[in-house]
């Protein structure tokens, strides 16, 4: 419980970090991506081995640079180390827990989300209307702060459980019905 409280404090602090001149937008987003692992539960099939790495993937151009690598260096989620993977093609994604879909892939978001289907991968992006288009978590810049939009229906469809602590600091959105 103490670890969860500490992770929540770090996460909510990241909401304010972007206001300081020392932290860039993508440094803050890197911290969020790392901390999401503390507030998400995946089904057992996503990590059958308790020492399997928590994989954070980036699909498309990488705006995070080395920030994400530096953020997770030496960190663990229980026994699981963190690993960063960069993907150019959707077919390269074999194992992944958290997938940041770069703005460079905005034209293909519907195709990417459809291809991922109901795989238990937390999808995250800062692309426009990402959550409304069926992505799980969208970063939104609002008055020099990073805010979160969460599509709970998309997470539930992929059997990914997002903690109520994370939901409390986010705007919940729904995928429009046709």
Tens digit of each residue's pLDDT (9 = 90 or more) over 137-161: 999 998 889 999 999 999 999 999 9
Number of independent structural domains in the chain:
1
Q: Residue 14 is inside which H or E element, if any?
A: helix 2-17
The answer to the question of residue 178 being in a domain is no
pTM given for the model: 0.86
Alpha carbons 56 and 85: distance in angstroms, whole number: 6
| pLDDT tens figures, 106-129 | 999 999 999 999 999 999 999 999
Distances in Å between the Cα of 54 and the Cα atoms of 101, 112, 140, 149 are 17, 21, 25, 23
Among the ranges given (94-98, 135-139, 157-161, 172-176), the one the predictor scored with the smallest mean pLDDT: 172-176
Please check the confidence at residue 19 and state whether its pLDDT lies above 80.
Answer: no
Give the domain CATH number at 120.
3.40.50.2300
pLDDT in tens, 43-56: 877 767 778 999 99
Model pLDDT, residue 11: 52
Considering the domain boundaries, does residue 141 fall inside one?
yes
Residue 86 lies in a domain: yes
Domain that holds residue 43: 2-173
Tokens of 100: 């940041």
Question: What ranges make up the beta strands (E) of the chain?
Answer: 40-41, 54-59, 76-77, 80-87, 98-101, 122-125, 137-142, 145-151, 161-162, 170-173
């Amino acid at each position: 419980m103490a670890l969860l409280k500490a992770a929540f404090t770090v996460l909510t602090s990241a909401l304010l970090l972007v206001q300081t001149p020392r932290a860039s937008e993508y440094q803050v987003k890197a911290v969020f991506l790392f901390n999401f692992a503390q507030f998400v539960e995946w089904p057992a099939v996503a990590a059958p081995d308790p020492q399997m790495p928590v994989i954070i993937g980036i699909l498309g151009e990488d705006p995070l640079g080395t920030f994400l690598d530096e953020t997770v260096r030496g960190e663990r989620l229980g026994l699981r180390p963190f690993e960063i993977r960069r993907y150019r093609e959707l077919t390269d994604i074999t194992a992944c827990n958290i997938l940041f879909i770069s703005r460079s892939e905005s034209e293909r978001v519907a195709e990417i989300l459809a291809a991922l289907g109901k795989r238990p991968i937390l999808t995250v992006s800062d692309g426009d209307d990402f959550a409304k288009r069926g992505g799980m978590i969208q970063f939104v810049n609002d008055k020099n702060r990073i805010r979160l939009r969460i599509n709970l229906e998309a997470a539930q469809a992929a059997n990914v459980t997002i903690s109520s602590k994370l939901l409390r600091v986010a705007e919940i959105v729904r995928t429009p019905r046709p």
